[in-house]
Amino acid sequence: DVKVTQSSRYLVKRTGEKVFLECVQDMDHENMFWYRQDPGLGLRLIYFSYDVKMKEKGDIPEGYSVSREKKERFSLILESASTNQTSMYLCASSLGTGGTGELFFGEGSRLTVL
Amino acid sequence: AQSVTQLDSHVSVSEGTPVLLRCNYSSSYSPSLFWYVQHPNKGLQLLLKYTSAATLVKGINGFEAEFKKSETSFHLTKPSAHMSDAAEYFCVVTSYNFNKFYFGSGTKLNVKP
């Protein structure tokens, strides 16, 4: 089974702190994604990556950056956390072109910024 | 352009009665469509997918969905609801190269005893 692992399920950080959210997938997928999920707003794409060192902005990239140095790992970085970044963050991966498009999700990381 | 509309934000059914969660899509090409389920504080799990094969798709836990091109719909159904089906459900359409995914706003299913 494909497994997408997010390093932290729950985090509490202070305003201004730098936050790293890590995501690892074990199926050699080309595509990886970071979403944030907020009540009433559904899932919104922050960034995605279709190859190592490649990234594209999603719908809400402001205040976030990403890193993909290895194919299996996709990190989301909050350079200076703010209270409006309190949210559930979901990482996902997919095979990409040649696959059937299915997204595989991690369990999510719930971030609280005080 | 691709988009997905889930017509109901909340659906409430009694245990043992049928479930219908509605989804309409817009796509400029033959789409791939998915339904995902999310239980509280969990990630999303694939229920079923349509990828241009049979229009009636069977998924896990007794769910199925029918792709109707003429109606641009992909409604999710289950003949008999179970308490464990209470969750949020998302309809999703993907781009032709599977690099982008368009999520509906979600439907919360409540199952009453």
* Residue of higher predicted confidence among B28 and B104: B104
Determine, for residues A48 and B44 on separate chains, whether the beta-carbon distance falls below 8 Å.
no
Determine, for residues B105 and A106 on separate chains, whether the beta-carbon distance falls below 8 Å.
no
Determine, for residues B34 and A43 on separate chains, whether the beta-carbon distance falls below 8 Å.
no
Instruction: Using 70 as the pLDDT threshold, list the residues of chain A that sit under it.
Output: 1-2, 97-100
Cβ-based contacts of A107 with chain B (< 8 Å): 42-43
* Residue of higher predicted confidence among A18 and B27: A18
**HSE of B73, CA atoms in CB hemisphere, 13 A:** 12
Alpha-carbon gap, residue A71 to A85, rounded angstroms: 26
Determine, for residues B98 and A42 on separate chains, whether the beta-carbon distance falls below 8 Å.
no
Cβ-based contacts of B46 with chain A (< 8 Å): 102-104
- Residue labelled with tokens 């956390």: A81
How far is B72 from chain A, CA to nearest CA, in Å?
19
How far is B58 from chain A, CA to nearest CA, in Å?
15
Determine, for residues B42 and A108 on separate chains, whether the beta-carbon distance falls below 8 Å.
yes
Determine which of B7-21, B44-58, B72-86 has the lowest per-residue pLDDT on average: B44-58
Q: What's the pLDDT at A13?
A: 97
Q: What's the pLDDT at A1?
A: 67
Q: What's the pLDDT at B54?
A: 83
Cβ-based contacts of B45 with chain A (< 8 Å): 105
Alpha-carbon gap, residue A63 to A78, rounded angstroms: 6
CB neighbour list of residue A54: distance below 8 Å, 6 or more residues apart = A68
Alpha-carbon gap, residue A43 to A69, rounded angstroms: 25
Share of chain B above pLDDT 90, in %: 72
